[in-house]
Amino acid sequence: MSTARIVIQPPSAAGGRHVHVDGENLGLAQSDMDVVEFLRRSGLPDAEPLLDDPAWVEWRGAPPHDYGGPSVSSA
């Protein structure tokens, strides 16, 4: 079990990852900028460096910084 306060859930089928802090769902992030904004609103004003710190953030179900979503192919 992780002791990280911030958990980034696996990407949804439509894209984006739910962000949880201390068990509370803060929203669906489409990018690192969204995660940083959610964390700022929850009281962590300088959260960007924390995204790559496993003591703070647990990325579940996909690599860090991957927000999934449908593949876009050029015609």
Please report which residue ranges of 1-75 form alpha helices under DSSP H: 32-41
70 pLDDT tier (thresholds 50, 70, 90): low
75 pLDDT tier (thresholds 50, 70, 90): very low
Q: How high is the pLDDT of residue 74?
A: 47
Task: Give the residue-averaged pLDDT of 9-17.
Answer: 96
Q: How high is the pLDDT of residue 69?
A: 76
Structure tokens at 39: 């964390």
Q: How high is the pLDDT of residue 40?
A: 96
Check residues 73 and 9 and name the one with the higher pLDDT: 9
d(CA 47, CA 66): 18
User: In the beta sheet, which residues pair with residue 51?
Assistant: none
